[in-house]
């Protein structure tokens, strides 16, 4: 009992919000990819396929696990009010992993051949919340939009 109370106080002191269970980092990544795909109010089959392939690559999970994450994520983002709910779970990611996530978000946004301004806003806000430098944000975008350069 005492250990449980001590653990709760430690979580509070660390700044964790105990009002709702926090999503796992893998689930948070799936939610961010789903958020960018749906931000323009139309999710194309190529965006769905891109989300699936990118989750498998980023998280090194099997297709069925990636699909389950996407299904849960699509339900969760309908109820979410803020990207912070997801980005706060990714504080422990290295800068390289954060860059890979932002690049993956650009890949989802560009999967249908165009980047909607609303998709751009979601990725920009995510990059800011993850403390990804603006130069890295632009670099990731250019790697996706102009892969040959």
pLDDT digits (tens, 9 = 90+) for 95-109: 999 999 999 999 999
pLDDT in tens, 34-83: 999 998 888 888 888 999 999 999 999 999 999 999 999 999 988 888 89
Distances (CA, A) of 8 to 11, 23, 90, 94: 5, 17, 20, 26
Name the residue with higher pLDDT: 84 or 15: 84
Predicted confidence at residue 5, as pLDDT, reads 59
Terminal-residue alpha carbon distance, the chain: 59
- Contact between 117 and 99 under an 8 Å Cβ cutoff? The reply is no
User: How far is the C-alpha of 104 from the C-alpha of 2, rounded, in Å?
Assistant: 43
23-145 belongs to which CATH class? Answer: mainly alpha
Q: What is the mean pLDDT of residues 119-142?
A: 96
Distances (CA, A) of 74 to 9, 33, 70: 32, 9, 6
pLDDT higher than 80, residue 18: no
pTM over 0.85: no
Q: What is the mean pLDDT of residues 101-130?
A: 95
Listing DSSP states for 80-149 in one string gives: ---THHHHGGGTTS-HHHHHHHHHHHHHHHHTTS---HHHHHHHHHHHHHTT--HHHHHHHHHHHHSTT-
pLDDT higher than 70, residue 19: no
Name the residue with higher pLDDT: 9 or 58: 58
């Amino acid at each position: 009992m005492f250990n449980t109370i001590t653990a709760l106080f430690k979580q509070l002191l660390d700044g964790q919000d105990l009002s709702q269970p926090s999503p796992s980092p893998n689930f948070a990544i799936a939610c961010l990819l789903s958020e960018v795909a749906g931000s323009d109010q139309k999710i194309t089959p190529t965006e769905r396929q891109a989300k699936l392939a990118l989750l498998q690559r980023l998280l090194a999970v099997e297709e069925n696990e990636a699909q389950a994450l996407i299904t849960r994520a699509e339900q969760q983002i309908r109820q979410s009010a803020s990207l912070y709910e997801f980005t706060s779970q990714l504080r422990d990611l290295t800068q390289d992993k954060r860059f890979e996530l932002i690049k993956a978000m650009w890949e989802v946004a560009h999967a249908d051949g165009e980047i909607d301004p609303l998709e751009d806003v979601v990725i920009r806000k995510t990059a800011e919340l993850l403390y990804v430098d603006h130069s890295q944000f632009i670099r990731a975008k250019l790697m996706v939009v102009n892969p040959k350069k």
